[in-house]
């Protein structure tokens, strides 16, 4: 596939992991250091700057069926965002985006497989960003008071909130990836370098998205 002007489609890198797993830090390195234009079309920008307040967190809904009233909207939001990601690629623009995909809504929605089908024929790779729960909690506790109340309140010495545990349990299901990185043992720069090395090699088929597209 080539763009209308003969240039190849842009790469798509989707980072999937729990909140505070380090996805955004990897995005920053990719945007700063990788060749070409890399646009960030991930969940943070969508929730904070695009989504009307009354429908938040929108595509950032936590596992556990917290807002069944807005769940019917979530698949459409994901579909629109992934269609935009695909169109950027078709116009020769690279995209990096961070998400916390899961299917632990009040009922299964099959969103990840539907999103994968929207990327058919494009050079898209899915990277799992892993981070142990104890490290996630240390990062949350190190944040300022306002950020600490984002989604769920935490305090030193208190039990780990159920929503934080649920993210760890559900975000890496089914765990089909082209690459997995661990931000507890590697810096954002080192994780980004693993992704760079993956991009430098011929793409192995079926990719994670190709496998996911055939499910559901």
What is the per-residue pLDDT for 47?
Answer: 87
Count other Cβ atoms within 10 Å, centred on residue 94: 21
Residue 3 lies in a domain: no
Query: What distance in Å separates the CA atoms of residue 117 and residue 146, rounded to the nearest whole number?
Result: 38
In a domain, 72, yes or no: yes
Positions of the chain with pLDDT under 50:
148-149
Tell me if 91 is assigned to some domain. yes
- Note the Cα 22 to chain centre separation in Å: 11
Residue 170 lies in a domain: yes
In a domain? residue 206:
yes
- The pLDDT value recorded for residue 135 is 95
User: What is the pLDDT at residue 202?
Assistant: 95
Residue 18 lies in a domain: yes
Whether 73 maps to a domain, the answer reads: yes
What distance, in Å, lies between the first and last C-alpha atoms of the chain? 26
Total number of domains in the chain: 1
**How crowded is the C-beta side of 153, counted as CA atoms within 13 Å?**
1
79 assigned to some structural domain: yes
Q: Is 47 exposed, middle or buried (0-12, 13-18, 19+ CB in 10 A)?
A: middle
Q: By residue range, what is the domain housing residue 30? A: 12-213
pLDDT at 148: 43
Query: Rounded distance, CA 110 to CA 117, Å?
Result: 11
Instruction: Kindly report the CATH number assigned to the domain that includes residue 95.
Output: 3.40.50.300
Contact partners, residue 47, CB within 8 Å, separation at least 6: 56, 57, 58, 59, 60
């Amino acid at each position: 596939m080539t763009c209308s002007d003969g240039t190849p489609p842009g790469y798509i890198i989707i980072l999937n992991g729990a909140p505070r797993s380090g996805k955004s830090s990897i995005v920053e390195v990719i945007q700063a250091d990788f060749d070409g234009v890399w646009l960030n079309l991930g969940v943070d920008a969508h929730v904070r700057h695009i989504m009307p307040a009354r429908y938040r967190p929108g595509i950032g809904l936590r596992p556990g069926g917290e807002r069944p009233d807005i769940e019917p909207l979530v698949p459409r939001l994901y579909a629109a965002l992934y269609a935009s990601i695909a169109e950027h690629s078709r116009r020769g623009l690279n995209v990096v985006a961070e998400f916390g995909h899961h299917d632990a809504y009040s009922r299964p929605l099959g969103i990840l497989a539907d999103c994968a089908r929207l990327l058919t024929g494009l050079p898209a790779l899915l990277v799992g960003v892993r981070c142990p729960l104890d490290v996630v909690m240390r990062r949350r506790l190190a944040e300022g008071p306002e950020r600490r109340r984002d989604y769920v309140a935490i305090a030193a010495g208190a039990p780990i909130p159920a929503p934080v545990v649920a993210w760890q349990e559900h975000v890496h299901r089914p765990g089909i990836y082209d690459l997995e990185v661990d931000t507890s043992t590697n810096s954002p720069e080192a994780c980004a370098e693993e992704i760079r090395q993956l991009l430098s090699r011929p793409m192995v088929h079926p990719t994670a998205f190709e496998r996911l597209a055939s499910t559901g």
